[in-house]
Amino acid sequence: ETGVTQSPTHLIKTRGQQVTLRCSSQSGHNTVSWYQQALGQGPQFIFQYYREEENGRGNFPPRFSGLQFPNYSSELNVNALELDDSALYLCASSLVGGLGPSPLHFGNGTRLTVT
């Protein structure tokens, strides 16, 4: 069973730039969620994708956008980067339609630093 993988592991960008983070879901999973974890905080929900459509969004501005592809991989795009966007970005996958609730399985994250 292949787990959730994310790339790159680390990234440094300049304020105002754009960034794309990538995620491959765990095999057999059909939903993907993205979370932002600032230093000393718990992960905060950005959005979830199911069947290639956004299926819920947290309190993040529109410059945070995403995509889910037919193979259930996903991208997180952030435009007009701000210093406060510096954080660990976590991707998580789960299975909708299985028997009972499906816990999220997380990747190791991408550490984004905005200077």
Partner 1 sequence: DQQVKQNSPSLSVQEGRISILNCDYTNSMFDYFLWYKKYPAEGPTFLISISSIKDKNEDGRFTVFLNKSAKHLSLHIVPSQPGDSAVYFCAASLMNYGGSQGNLIFGKGTKLSVKP
The CA angle 102-49-77, to the nearest 5 degrees, is 130
Query: Dihedral of CA 73/79/82/83: which sign?
Result: positive
Q: Which one, of 56, 78, 75, lies nearest residue 66 by Cα? A: 75
Among 33, 68, 74, 86, binds partner 1 (CB under 8 A): 33
Q: By CB under 8 A, is residue 74 in contact with partner 1?
A: no
Q: Which stretch binds partner 1 (CB under 8 A): 41-49, 61-69, 70-78, 79-87?
A: 41-49
Nearer to partner 1 by Cβ, of 48 and 86: the residue is 48
Q: Which residues bind partner 1 (CB under 8 A)?
A: 4, 31, 33, 35, 40-45, 48, 50, 55-56, 58, 90, 92, 94-97, 101-109
